[in-house]
A = this chain, B = another copy of it.
Amino acid sequence: MVLNIGLLGLGTVGTGVVEIINERKDAIKKSTGKSINIKRVMVNNLNKKRDIDISEISLTEDFEDILNDTEIDVIVEVTGDLESSYKYIIEGLNAGKHVVTANKAVVSKYLGEFSSLAAEKNLAFLYEASVGGGIPVIKPLREQIELNEINKVQGILNGTCNYILTRMINEDKDYREVLKVAQELGYAEADPTADVEGHDTLRKLRILSTLGLQGKVTEEDILLYGIGSINSLDIKNIKKMDSTVKLIAEAKKFGDGFTAIVQPTIVKNNNYFANVNMAYNSVAFEGDHVGELKFYGPGAGKLPTANAVLNDVLDIGNNSYRKGNPLKDESLKNLNEEIKGKYYLRVSYINNETNGTLKELANQVLCEDEDMAIITNDMKLSKINSILSGLNLSKDRYFLAKIME
């Protein structure tokens, strides 16, 4: 039996997919009796020079060539583009083809629609690579929801942020300096906004929480705080607390609803998440029977991501994925207003009024010069936010981080 793939995109991940298939083709055939074949690849530019040998691959610039090829069983979508990938996925499923994607933006935005269309057509819609890079986490989560109420999903989900924060902590370096190195090494994009402001992490949390909490959690349901305003003083203060800082996404059941937030989080050095460093990611979830599970691995990268894509493809080839729409359409009550805790707050260019206001919030004052840093009382985040609004601070003048219990 041959499983024919139509590959959309031959960038980093697409190239990895071709490389791994070339290398493992024979082994896969031997152990499963199935051949994986890349039937055709859609690219933006037929004439672009490629890093890999494409002499045996049929390229096209036209999606229709893949859509109308009745021999193609699976569309592997690794373009990274949002709106056109939506079209590819919908049209692919409607044409009776299974779909695998690594594109977190499109999965986050249209997960419900894709899942129900795939179920209706008795096809697979799989997206392991969209969260946590190479880490198998969507599949175990999708399985555990059958046996458990999932109370919490949590994780370090963005390699760029984690790389920057790790180097700032380990090398006492400034944010801009580390960001520049990260860009030079290819760990951060030229425009790093989606990563450092947490949009990428938010999308992944939207995927994990919709699946895990089994109800509607939209992108708009998630509070978002990035790492863009962290500075060397913050790093110094955090290290004095015998701690480190991570951008952590967390959604959990709370009362008769849920809370969902992405925020810089200060974790003690002996906390599990403190040892998830550099471009590694970790995803945790908690079920009422299985307890707390944590998964750790490379959060990005050509081969790990391509490997996750191909594990989905093999699940289709072996018919070894769980069928049906795993999502529930129930609406859940957003209780983000109730989020509370102790927070680290640093404000720069302090005046008397700001100093006084911060002191009222403070359980502990860490420093009060031109920059002032405090640890707040245990209080509602919404209260801190309304006080910050009152102070009318621009976003780059303060840094707020949750202190993990």
Chain A positions near chain B (C-beta within 8 angstroms)? 20, 24, 27-28, 31-33, 134-136, 140, 143-144, 146-148, 269-272, 274-275, 287, 289-298, 301, 303-304, 306-308, 310-311, 314-315, 318-324, 326
Chain B residue nearest to A270 (CB atoms) is B275
**Smallest CB–CB gap between A296 and chain B, Å?**
4
A152 to chain B, nearest CB (A): 14
Rounded to whole Å, the gap between the CB of A98 and the closest CB of chain B is 15
Report whether A318 and B314 are in contact in the complex, using a CB–CB cutoff of 8 Å: no
Chain B residues closer than 8 Å to A287, beta-carbon distance: 307
CB-contact partner of A275 in B32, B271, B289, under 8 A: B271
Q: Which chain B positions have C-beta within 8 A of A275?
A: 270-272, 274-275
| Residues of the B chain whose Cβ atoms lie less than 8 Å from the Cβ of A274 | 270, 275
Give bound CA distance, A136 to B292, whole Å: 12
Asked if A270 and B269 make an inter-chain contact with CB atoms under 8 angstroms apart, the answer reads yes
Tell me the bound Cα distance from A289 to B301 in angstroms: 10
> How far, in whole Å, are A210 and B308 apart by their CA atoms in the complex?
23
Instruction: Flag if A291 contacts B134 (CB, 8 Å).
Output: yes
**A to B CB contacts below 8 Å, 19 in the list:** A20-B147, A20-B289, A24-B146, A24-B147, A28-B146, A31-B146, A31-B326, A33-B324, A135-B293, A136-B140, A136-B143, A143-B314, A143-B315, A272-B296, A275-B275, A289-B304, A291-B297, A291-B303, A293-B297
Residue pair B32, A324 in contact (C-beta under 8 Å): yes
Query: When the two chains form their complex, are residues B301 and A291 in contact, meaning their CB atoms are under 8 A apart?
Result: yes
In the assembled complex, the CB of A169 is this many whole angstroms from the nearest CB of chain B, namely: 11
Q: Which secondary structure characterizes the binding site on chain A?
A: mixed
Q: Are A134 and B311 in contact (CB under 8 A)?
A: no
Q: Are A303 and B290 in contact (CB under 8 A)?
A: yes
Taking CB atoms, residues of chain B closer than 8 Å to A301 are 291
Most buried by B among A291, A292, A314, A326: A291
Closest B residue, CB atoms, query A292: B297
Q: Knowing that A146-B314, A291-B304, A293-B296 touch, tell me 6 more A-B residue pairs with CB under 8 angstroms.
A: A31-B326, A287-B307, A289-B307, A296-B296, A314-B322, A320-B320
- Given the interface pairs A20-B289, A275-B274, A296-B293, the reply to whether A146 lies near B27 with Cβ below 8 Å is yes
C-alpha gap A275/B135 in the complex (Å): 20
> Is B20 a contact of A144 with CB atoms below 8 Å?
no
Q: Which residues of B contact A292 (CB under 8 A)?
A: 296-298
Residues of B within 8 A of A135 (CB): 293
**Bound Cα distance from A295 to B146, whole angstroms:** 20
Distance in angstroms from A170 CB to nearest chain B CB is 10
Q: Given the interface contacts A294-B297, A295-B293, does A144 sit within 8 Å of B324 by beta carbon?
A: no
The verdict on A310 contacting B147 (CB below 8 Å), with A290-B298, A292-B297, A303-B290 known, is: yes
Residue contact A318 to B307, C-beta cutoff 8 Å: no
Minimum distance in angstroms from A310 CB to a CB of chain B: 6
Query: How close is A156's CB to chain B, nearest CB, in angstroms?
Result: 13
Contacts of A291 in B (CB 8 A): 134, 297-298, 301, 303-304
Chain B residues lying within 8 Å of A24, measured Cβ to Cβ, are 146-147
CA–CA, A304 to B290, complex, Å? 4
* Contact between B147 and A307, CB atoms less than 8 A apart: yes
Contact B289 A306 (CB under 8 A): yes
